[in-house]
Amino acid sequence: MPYYIGDVIKEEKRLIARTPEKFRETGIDVRIDTRVEEVDQKAGRVRLAGGETLPYDILVLGTGTRPLMPGIPGEEREGVFTLKKLTDALRIKAWLKEVPCRKVIIVGAGFIGMEMTEAIGNLGIETQVFHRGTLPVNRWDPEFSKAVLAELERHQVGFVTEVEVRAVEEGKKYRLRLVTNRGEDEADMILMAVGIRPETELARRMGLPLGKNGAIRVNFSQRTPQEGVYAVGDCAESFHRVSGQWVNIPLGDIANKQGRVAGRNIGGGSAVFPGIVGSQCFKVFDLEVAATGLDEREATQSGFHPVSTLVWGNSIAGSMPGNKKLGLKLIAEKTTGKLLGAQSVGEAGAVSRINTLACALWAELTIDDLGWLDLAYSPPFGGAWDPIHIAAQQLRRQL
């Protein structure tokens, strides 16, 4: 009988909170708000925070990630948040409403920061993003990052660049003051969205090997090198099918898949997690932002010789009324023409293109394939030549 350790996803948590008996009926002892302090592998027992110990045959680590903090004075003040768990979201929601919150500063311009600008902006609360770099979402090409920045500006979200945060103090006009190299700014709430790391404290103490990315090493069955110990989700590594390397990409869909693979293997079946290609997307206001595979830097680090092209098109055919701007970048290996990665930003159709290209990466298609790919054409959804075709045929000339 396995015990599931770590955070459960939103829907599961709700389910558990509502129907704890349901799990007991099936013979599964699910404990929430329970911290495992230590694992005694010889005895096959876990020790909980309260001192109680429980026996196990199989141990699954699903300890997830922990959000990083900048490590500055005052960062523990009330009103400074990170966003990782459901309870974080509930606490933020309460704060926004009850304080009441007139202005929010978001530190960090990754996809969590971007999604939060929309969530907070849509409540009509003034929002400012403070970023250490010059453009948001550095996974994407600067041209696409600029499109994201323009979308923020279009929705009155401030964007302050090249910021080093130094301290959080008590504010005068607002509750908090953020001290940076750029001066002092006040807000009623500060969200620290500066990154996350795999939560592997327990794994480390168990002597489980970690990858250079800090995540728990697993094989394609989600087994760790220790007999009877599995790891799944954000705390574990995944095999990247394009780079051929083991990576840590903490995303919910990957965690779901790995959980199913581990569960099937534990349950006596047989399942293999065939890896990932690095697909990711988010929405910020009216913009879809998506990417898959490797960018040029990652491709070079993985031993490839990347070439790339970036095209702007329309996700509605030119013969139709309306215009929905869509940008697509393709990255390919110079010698073989094999697709290595893709990025897209658009008012519509960006996620759709990236999912098609994620499938192309999975199947190791080349730019030649993509130039002639038989996509479903109809004017409301694109031109007879899709941006995928146009970019692929354009990139082919560079090989």
Site residues for a second copy, window 204-263 (CB under 8 A)?
241, 251-257
**Which residues ranging from 3 to 22 are in contact with a second copy (CB under 8 A)?**
9-11
| Residue among 13, 155, 283, 325 that touches a second copy (CB under 8 A) | 283
State the minimum distance, in angstroms, from the CB of residue 253 to a second copy: 4
Given the rule CB under 8 A, which of 54-62, 122-130, 286-294, 328-336 is the region that contacts a second copy? 286-294
- CB of 135: closest distance to a second copy in angstroms? 21
| Residues linked to residue 236 through DSSP beta bridges, in sequence order | 216
CA pair distance 283, 313, nearest whole angstrom: 19
Q: Is there binding between residue 292 and a second copy (CB under 8 A)?
A: yes
**Residues near 199 by beta carbon (within 8 Å), at least 6 away in sequence:** 6, 63, 64, 65, 66, 234, 235
203 versus 287: smaller Cβ distance to a second copy: 287
Minimum gap (Å) between residue 348 Cβ and a second copy:
10
Burial class (CB in 10 A: 0-12, 13-18, 19+), 26: exposed
Q: What is the DSSP letter of 241?
A: T
Q: Which stretch binds a second copy (CB under 8 A): 25-33, 90-98, 158-166, 272-280?
A: 272-280
Tokens of 237: 């590594």
Taking the complex as a whole, the smallest distance from the CB of residue 129 to a second copy amounts, in Å, to: 19
Please identify which residue in 77, 281, 296, 394 interacts with a second copy, judged by CB under 8 A: 281
**Alpha carbons 10 and 304: distance in angstroms, whole number:** 39
Tell me whether residue 312 or residue 385 sits nearer to a second copy (CB atom). 385
- Within residues 368-387, the interface with a second copy by CB under 8 A covers 369, 372-378, 380-381, 384-386
Write the burial class of residue 85 (CB in 10 Å: 0-12 exposed, 13-18 middle, 19+ buried): middle
203 in Cβ contact with 61 (< 8 Å): yes
CB of 186 to a second copy, least distance (A): 32
Which residues on neighbouring strands pair with residue 308, listed in sequence order? 331
| CA distance to 112, 280, 293, 384, per residue, from 193 (Å) | 7, 17, 24, 41
CB nearer a second copy, residue 207 or residue 252: 252
Residue 180 CB partners (closer than 8 Å, separation 6+): 130, 160, 163, 164, 165, 166
Torsion of CA 191, 193, 198, 201, to 10 degrees: -40
CA 330 remoteness from chain centre: 21
Cβ distance to a second copy smaller for residue 179 or 375: 375
Residue in the block written with tokens 């560079």: 398
* Range in contact with a second copy (rule: CB under 8 A) among 57-65, 121-129, 158-166, 361-369: 361-369
Q: Which one, 72 or 86, has the nearer CB to a second copy?
A: 86
Q: Which is nearer to a second copy, 32 or 384 (CB)?
A: 384
The binder of a second copy chosen from 130, 144, 159, 282 (CB under 8 A):
282
Smallest gap, in angstroms, from Cβ of residue 139 to a second copy?
A: 12
Q: How many CB atoms lie within 10 A of CB 8?
A: 18
Tell me whether residue 7 or residue 186 sits nearer to a second copy (CB atom). 7
Kindly identify the residues of this chain, within the stretch 143-182, that bind a second copy according to CB under 8 A.
none
Residue 344 main-chain phi, psi, to 5 deg: -150, 145
**Interface with a second copy in residues 299-328 (CB under 8 A):** 318-319
Return the structure tokens found at 168. Answer: 């959080």
Cβ closest to a second copy, residue 95 vs residue 282: 282
Which whole-number Å values give the CA distances from 26 to 4, 18, 333, in the listed order?
15, 16, 51
Residue in 199, 237, 288, 295 binding a second copy, rule: CB under 8 A: 288
Give 78 or 253: the residue with its C-beta nearer to a second copy.
253
12 or 52, CB closer to a second copy? 12
Q: Under the rule (CB under 8 A), what is the footprint of a second copy?
A: 9-11, 241, 251-257, 273-283, 288, 290-292, 318-319, 349, 351-360, 362-365, 369, 372-378, 380-381, 384-386, 389
